[in-house]
Structure 1
Amino acid sequence: MTARLIVVRGNSGSGKTSVVEAIRALYGRGIAYIEQDYVRRTVFQELDELDGANIELIGLMARHALGRGFHTVIEGILPTVRYGGMLARLHREYGGHFYYLDIPFEETVRRHGTRDKATAFTAEDMAAWYRSKDLLDQPRETVIDETSSLDATVQQILDETGLRRGPAAEIQVGDDDRLTGRE
């Protein structure tokens, strides 16, 4: 199977990390996970700036992983104004499947309160970052809203990308679970 590019974007607290972790758990080995926050905060210790060093490194990492045959998931807020060009170039080169988790601000704040990193930043910080429907011009993104459960979202992405479940153990997701704040 040709390596697939998957991009999962959305506001802080929208469930992006939960989705990617579930995809990896279900698929098993062979998926490279490129987390915007890790590259930006840990590798470079930089703010999210217009020409940040992390932007092109994320693109380079994706190209490298895809070139080595790994399905590659890029995950993060990835604001269009800063990351849109890099993501459009990746799409032109590799195609891919792009998803935007569209969760209302109040729900992202509620979910943030349940996370391990709940004290790392405040609801006021989240309000400053929040961008309603920050969709890319190109490529078109599949919008997934708060009514989709974590399991349904993961299954949708696996089905649409052609990825099949690997030998990894099933994740446990309750019937009520939405894209929870386990980001």
Structure 2
Amino acid sequence: MVGSETTRLIVVRGNSGSGKSTIAERVRSRHGRGMALVGQDTIRRMILKERDVPGAPNIGLIDVVARYALSQGYHVIIEGIFYTSHYGAMLRALREDHRGSSHFYHLDVSFDETLRRHATKAQALQYGEPQMRQWYRRLDLLDGGYEHIVSEDSRRRRPEAARASRSWPAPRQSGDLR
């Protein structure tokens, strides 16, 4: 078992360019201290500089970092593409082992929209449409039916976004230095 009854685990999954990092960073910024942000790209591409393949070391490292942060009383938001075939077992085990509440979201954004968003990013020159097309998997959902699907137009309609925001922990008080 990991974490406590008061810690929250939030997992945000989706294709490249779907808005995962933006959402995770905004949630963490709004919350402040006491929330760990575990990004797949940070661990896989920057720390380990490895490819996204089944059984790769980044899967275990993401798990260890999330578990450690939860065990230290931090809320944890994990964000990444997290293909079900590569990361599903790790994410399911983390959910099952977490004592607190766990919330899983899958951002369902069309390929054309992910490509449009990608063009606005700093790394747009590092990879393009051919790679994104190869990586794109529509509704690569985890087994179990516990993942909330957030559609690309939810920012206009807001029902999924409103439901999702209720799972975010309340911001810490400004005097809390944790």
Q: TM-score, normalised by structure 2?
A: 0.87
1:51-90 map, 5 Å: 51-90=55-94
Distance across 1 between alignment mates of 2:8 and 2:65: 14
Which stretches of structure 1, 4 residues or more, deviate above 4 A after TM superposition? Answer: 152-155
Distance across 2 between alignment mates of 1:14 and 1:108: 5
2:165 is matched with 158
- Contact kept, 8 Å, 2:27 with 2:168, in 1: the verdict is no
Is 1:137 matched up with 2:143?
yes
Describe the SS at the equivalent of 2:78. Answer: strand
1:23-172 map, 5 Å: 23-94=27-98, 95-138=101-144, 140-149=146-155, 152=158, 155-159=162-166, 161=167, 163-166=169-172
Distance across 2 between alignment mates of 1:37 and 1:155: 27
Is 1:5 matched up with 2:12?
no
Distance across 1 between alignment mates of 2:161 and 2:107: 12
Distance across 2 between alignment mates of 1:157 and 1:15: 14
Describe the SS at the equivalent of 2:123. Answer: coil
Distance across 2 between alignment mates of 1:42 and 1:123: 22
Distance across 2 between alignment mates of 1:12 and 1:30: 27
Q: What amino acid is aligned across from residue 40 of structure 2 in structure 1?
A: Q
- Contact kept, 8 Å, 1:158 with 1:164, in 2: the verdict is no
Unaligned runs of 5+ in 2: none
Q: What amino acid is aligned across from residue 17 of structure 2 in structure 1?
A: G
Q: TM-score, normalised by structure 1?
A: 0.85
CA shift, 1:138, in A, is 3.2
Unaligned runs of 5+ in 1: 169-183
Describe the SS at the equivalent of 2:10. Answer: strand
CA shift, 1:25, in A, is 1.4
Alignment length (residue pairs): 167
- C-alpha spacing 1:68/1:74, structure 2 compared with 1 (3 Å): same
Q: Choose which of 14, 17, 21 in structure 1 pairs with 2:18.
A: 14
Distance across 1 between alignment mates of 2:161 and 2:38: 17
Give a deviation string over 1:158-180, Cα, whole Å, max 9, x none. Answer: 31x25123468xxxxxxxxxxxx
Q: What amino acid is aligned across from residue 18 of structure 1 in structure 2?
A: T
- Contact kept, 8 Å, 2:10 with 2:103, in 1: the verdict is yes
Percentage of identical aligned residues: 42
